[in-house]
Amino acid sequence: MTDLTLSLQITVLSMGLVFGAIILLWGMMILLTTFTAEKNLPAKEEPAAPEPDSVSINKVKAQAAAIAVATALAEQGQSRAHPLCQPPTALVSAWQLGMRTSQRTQKGNLGRR
């Protein structure tokens, strides 16, 4: 056999193994999802609770909203947080300063002016 024939046979065999493994994993995932899926069982009907008076529910909701607004306003007045100021930017960054220093050192102009 020539080298080309042998290399083609090895390539086909290895690609077949890879695709076979992919198909095997795909089948296993399908089996796992079908066996482990939650099944929806019909729920038993419970007796309905008596409907409370809708006027009293609206009154309770309005009171809860009023309490929430009052609490938020009180907390907002007590807040001592203030926005942080940005520090002034340097004219030359630390990276630029380091690079310029190394360039001057390499050229030998560090101490002379």
Mind listing the pLDDT tens digit for each residue in 21-80? 999 999 999 999 998 887 776 777 766 665 666 678 888 899 999 999 999 888 887 767
Q: Which residue has the higher pLDDT, 74 or 18?
A: 18
- Please state the pTM of the whole predicted model: 0.34
Q: Which residue has the tokens 């890879």?
A: 18
3-state secondary structure 32-78: HHHHHCCCCCCCCCCCCCCCCCHHHHHHHHHHHHHHHHHHHHHHHHH
Tokens of 57: 């529910």
pLDDT in tens, 100-109: 888 888 887 6
